[in-house]
Chains A and B, each alone.
Chain A
Amino acid sequence: MARITLEGVAKSFGAHAVIHGADLEIADGSFVVFVGPSGCGKTTLLRLIAGLEDVTAGRILIDGANLVGVPAAKRGLSMVFQSYALYPHMSVRGNIGFGLKMAGTPRAEASRKVEAAAATLNLTAYLDRKPRELSGGQRQRVAIGRAIVREPKAFLFDEPLSNLDAALRVQMRLEITTLQRQLKTTAIYVTHDQVEAMTMADRIVVLNAGRIEQFGSPLELYDRPANLFVAGFIGSPRMNFVGQETAHSYGAATIGIRPEHLKAARDGEGWQGRVSVAEHLGSDTFLHVDVPGIGNLTARSIGELGLTTGDPVCLLPDPARIHRFDRDGKSMRS
């Protein structure tokens, strides 16, 4: 259980700067997700916290103590790797218990803890198997078991679900969040999937090209994105961005409106256009509409609208949900 603070943390590989001065305050017991596109530096930031890489500048504090210079082995953190990184020559029991062995935990106590962790993760039947005899999902649980058994100050997750199939991913998402809430241990979770971020996080850190764009709760990021990047990254389908005269008429360089806040109707008020593609999911309809003078907009409706390619349609934006952005892409919020 720990409060983690980053002060001016920067990282360069040679001349190439990957992280530019990150400042962050992660509350004790919270589940924080680092999210962003490939190459944004989220994994690098995680590895800096883990101690697998050295910072070029700045400080990393756990409960006020500076970790810079402390080797990974002594930081008291656990990491779950994307590839699970299980020890192939050890059984599940050996894998989970390895950290306890390194810490010098007496055999009996270690055994008890390993079995408790295995029980939590439904691995008791597999304790004596080797990793190669396990399925992907089971291996993942072993990786998690290895991380929790040491009762670390924080958990670090590096895209642990990306190698699983979709159904398993959804199930594991729930299990991980449940587990974390149970254990109340601080967790930092890296993913490129904003759905994972939104559903799992207490707070989200959105990263782009080595910079923290915004740090807030999922709903904060959804309702009040700080800039164009966050606004376009969070939410699926993506927010619609409109520029030029329409934006100027709202007093901004760019305005954004989410598909779910565009009310589509056959006629009435709003922007007039034609449907170019209609996607019917039964529960929702996504309409891709070509609005002359504005561009291509995506609108989302609940239920079936009965519109198809070529049909004229009216899109009415909810005035309370229009986001205004200035010339630098920053949100113009009072």
Chain B
Amino acid sequence: MGRRITPVRLLINTVAAWIVGLMIFFPILWMVLASFKTELEAFATPPSFLFFDWTLENYATVQGRSDYLHHALNSVIVAGGSTLIAMLIAVPAAWSMAFAPSKRTKDILLWMLSTKMMPPVGVLMPIYLLYRTFGMLDTLSGLILVLCLGNLPIVVWMLFTYFKEIPKDILEAARMDGATIGRELIYVLTPMAVPGIASTLLLNVILAWNEAFWTLNLSTSAAAPLTVFIASYSSPEGLFWAKLSAASTMAIAPILVLGWFSQRQLVRGLTFGAVK
């Protein structure tokens, strides 16, 4: 754009944007602030905004609670595990669709995407009963399985789009250089696809970490990730808000950071390429 923007215009834009941004961000901000207040402060009226006795006691308490750590670890295992397993299945599948396509490839891809569009509630009953029968309720492996299958279409889709951007003749050059398909994947494709693989990993870890349907319905305590842990605080009144805020802040902080890095992937991954 070759036109200069007037200082007045810039000021108006900036002020408006910041007001809107802060309004949207406010609930998170408020929660973070609450995490630094004492319990009494947290629900005092009038509520104090910045001028209160900042304290770290809530964080200390929450971190000291072994069950918080237990659930945090569960979140890590479930989100990480389900995504990694999904990647292991998806990388070969995406390779196949990007570099060895057949007439059916497009249909298969679209079918995979459509499985993601199925409402989980439609299969809640059978999954719950199956899990109950096989003793998989409230197990980490049970959660990992469900989340892996739930996110698999998105992982395949995203990897497919990244792989498609790799020029086919570089892989053919590897073949001419004597590489078998396996070595082609290891020495040429994967290094070139690392940014795409990282982005896919990132977005899907975030989606799995925040997943709040299967986790709420298929786990109660032993395998419960943070989503469930925090949900269990939905009833009691008043006294725990500061600590709850601290726990929540810790639960979402890593994801907010990761989320910042995966904005573009979000568009690519969740709109299934319908928006360029």
* Chain A interface (Cβ < 8 Å from any Cβ of B): 50-52, 71-74, 77-79, 81-83, 85-89, 98-99, 102-103, 146, 150
The reply to whether B175 and A73 contact each other, CB–CB distance below 8 Å, is yes
Is the CB of B53 closer than 8 A to any CB of chain A?
A: no
Task: Report chain A residues within 8 Å CB of B188.
Answer: 87
Whether A73 contacts B178 in the complex (CB less than 8 A), given A81-B173, A83-B169, A85-B173, comes out as: yes
Q: Which segment, of B13-21, B27-35, B179-187, B206-214, faces chain A? A: B179-187
The reply to whether B170 and A52 contact each other, CB–CB distance below 8 Å, is no
Shortest beta-carbon distance from B207 to chain A in Å: 29
The reply to whether B176 and A102 contact each other, CB–CB distance below 8 Å, is no
Is the CB of B237 closer than 8 A to any CB of chain A?
A: no
The reply to whether A87 and B170 contact each other, CB–CB distance below 8 Å, is yes
Shortest beta-carbon distance from A156 to chain B in Å: 8
The reply to whether B169 and A81 contact each other, CB–CB distance below 8 Å, is yes
Within 8 A of A (CB), among B137-193: 167, 169-170, 172-180, 183, 187-188, 191-192
Whether A99 contacts B177 in the complex (CB less than 8 A), given A83-B167, A87-B188, comes out as: yes
Known: A79-B176, A150-B177. 16 other contacts (CB 8 A): A52-B172, A71-B180, A73-B178, A73-B179, A79-B172, A81-B169, A81-B172, A81-B173, A85-B167, A85-B172, A87-B170, A87-B173, A88-B192, A89-B191, A103-B178, A150-B178
* Chain B interface (Cβ < 8 Å from any Cβ of A): 167, 169-170, 172-180, 183, 187-188, 191-192
Whether A102 contacts B191 in the complex (CB less than 8 A), given A85-B167, A85-B172, A86-B170, comes out as: no
State the main secondary structure of chain B at its contact with A: helix
Shortest beta-carbon distance from B173 to chain A in Å: 4
Partner of B177, one of A52, A88, A89, A102: A102
The reply to whether A79 and B173 contact each other, CB–CB distance below 8 Å, is yes
The reply to whether A102 and B170 contact each other, CB–CB distance below 8 Å, is no
| A–B complex contacts, Cβ < 8 Å, 14 sampled | A52-B175, A52-B176, A71-B180, A72-B172, A73-B178, A77-B176, A78-B177, A79-B176, A81-B172, A85-B167, A86-B170, A86-B173, A102-B177, A102-B183
Shortest beta-carbon distance from B105 to chain A in Å: 15
Chain A, residue nearest B190 (CB) = A89
Task: Report chain A residues within 8 Å CB of B180.
Answer: 71, 73
Shortest beta-carbon distance from A2 to chain B in Å: 15
Task: Report chain B residues within 8 Å CB of A98.
Answer: 174, 177, 179, 187
The reply to whether B170 and A74 contact each other, CB–CB distance below 8 Å, is no
Task: Report chain B residues within 8 Å CB of A78.
Answer: 176-177
Task: Report chain B residues within 8 Å CB of A72.
Answer: 172, 175-176
Question: How many angstroms between the C-alpha atoms of A84 and B152 in the bound complex?
Answer: 35
Residue among A77, A85, A88, A150 having the largest count of chain B Cβ atoms under 10 Å: A85
Shortest beta-carbon distance from A140 to chain B in Å: 13
**5 nearest A-B pairs in the assembled complex, by CB-CB distance:** A99-B177, A102-B178, A85-B173, A85-B169, A89-B191
Shortest beta-carbon distance from B210 to chain A in Å: 33
Task: Report chain B residues within 8 Å CB of A89.
Answer: 191-192
Shortest beta-carbon distance from A77 to chain B in Å: 7
Question: How many angstroms between the C-alpha atoms of A52 and B170 in the bound complex?
Answer: 12
Question: How many angstroms between the C-alpha atoms of A129 and B187 in the bound complex?
Answer: 18
Task: Report chain B residues within 8 Å CB of A50.
Answer: 176
Task: Report chain A residues within 8 Å CB of B167.
Answer: 83, 85
Task: Report chain A residues within 8 Å CB of B176.
Answer: 50, 52, 72-73, 77-79, 99
Shortest beta-carbon distance from B258 to chain A in Å: 25
Task: Report chain B residues within 8 Å CB of A146.
Answer: 173, 177
Task: Report chain A residues within 8 Å CB of B191.
Answer: 89
